[in-house]
C-alpha cells in the first residue's frame, strides 16, 4: 500500500513538473509569436509609409493624394457647407533649366526647399501638400472660394520671397499655379475629383501661357491642354 502511495505521489510530481515545463514552453512560444507579429506590423507600417511618401522631399506623394482625395472630399462636404475643396497645381518655373545648367543635385535642393516652403503655408491638419511628380506639386485644402486667390498668393510669395541658396549660389525660384474646385454633389465623387484635377491642369497650362510666375483659376472658356 505504501509502495502504491509513493508511486502515485511520484507520478503526480512528474505530471506537475511536466505541465509546468509545458506551460513555460507555451508562454515562450506565445511571446515569440507576439514579437513576430509586432515585427511584421512595424514592417507593414514602414512599407505603407514608404509607398505614400516622396523619397526626396519627405512629403506625401501622388499615390497618397489619390488614396486620400475621395475620402477627404466626402468628409469635408459633410462638415463645411460654406467651404469647398480646392485642388491647386504648383509648377516650378523653368525647372529644366536649373537641372541643365546646375545639375540634378542642385535641382534636388530646389525641390526640397520648395516643398518646405509650400508646406510652411499650411498649418491646419485639413490641408495637404503632395509632390505629384517631377517639379509639380498639388495642394488640397478646404476653404471659402473667395479666399482661393489669397491662398495661392501666399504660396507664391513663400517660394519667391528669398532665393534658394546652394553652395554659395543663389537661385531665384518662382512658380505657376492653376487651381479649380471640386464640384459639389451627393454622388460620383471619383468623377468629380477627376474633372477637378483636369481643370486645375488646364488652369496651370494657361498660367504658363500667361508668362508664368502667376496663379489662375480654372475657367470653362479655357482651351484644353494640348
Q: For the chain, how big is the Rg over CA atoms in Å?
A: 29
**Can 157 be counted among the known catalytic residues?**
no
State CA 222 to chain mean position distance. 29
What order of strands is seen across the sheet that includes strand 215-217? Answer: 128-133, 136-143, 84-92, 175-181, 215-217
Backbone angles phi, psi at 118, to 5 degrees: -65, -45
- 104-121 and 95-102 helices cross at what angle (nearest 10)? 140
Catalytic-labelled residue, pool 125, 135, 157, 224: 135
Residue with cell 479666399: 147
For 7-41, letters b (16+ CB in 10 Å) and e give eeeeeeeeeeeeeeeeeeeeeeeeeeeeeeeeeee
**Using an 8 Å Cβ cutoff, are 151 and 86 in contact?**
yes
Catalogue the active-site residues.
Answer: 135
Amino acid at each position: 500500500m505504501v509502495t502504491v502511495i509513493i508511486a502515485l505521489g511520484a507520478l503526480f510530481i512528474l505530471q506537475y513538473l511536466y505541465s509546468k515545463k509545458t506551460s513555460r514552453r507555451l508562454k515562450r512560444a506565445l511571446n515569440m509569436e507576439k514579437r513576430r507579429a509586432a515585427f511584421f506590423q512595424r514592417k507593414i507600417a514602414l512599407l505603407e509609409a514608404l509607398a505614400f511618401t516622396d523619397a526626396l522631399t519627405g512629403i506625401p506623394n501622388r499615390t497618397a493624394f489619390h488614396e486620400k482625395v475621395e475620402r477627404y472630399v466626402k468628409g469635408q462636404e459633410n462638415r463645411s457647407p460654406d467651404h469647398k475643396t480646392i485642388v491647386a497645381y504648383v509648377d516650378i518655373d523653368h525647372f529644366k533649366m536649373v537641372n541643365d545648367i546646375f545639375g540634378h543635385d542642385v535641382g534636388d535642393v530646389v525641390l526640397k526647399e520648395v516643398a518646405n516652403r509650400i508646406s510652411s503655408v499650411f498649418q491646419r491638419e485639413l490641408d495637404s501638400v503632395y509632390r505629384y511628380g517631377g517639379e509639380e506639386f498639388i495642394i488640397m485644402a478646404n476653404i471659402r472660394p473667395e479666399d482661393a486667390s489669397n491662398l495661392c498668393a501666399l504660396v507664391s510669395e513663400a517660394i519667391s520671397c528669398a532665393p534658394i541658396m546652394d553652395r554659395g549660389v543663389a537661385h531665384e525660384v518662382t512658380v505657376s499655379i492653376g487651381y479649380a474646385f471640386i464640384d459639389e454633389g451627393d454622388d460620383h465623387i471619383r468623377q468629380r475629383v477627376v474633372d477637378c484635377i483636369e481643370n486645375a491642369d488646364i488652369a496651370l497650362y494657361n498660367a504658363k501661357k500667361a508668362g508664368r510666375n502667376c496663379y489662375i483659376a480654372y475657367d470653362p472658356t479655357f482651351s484644353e491642354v494640348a
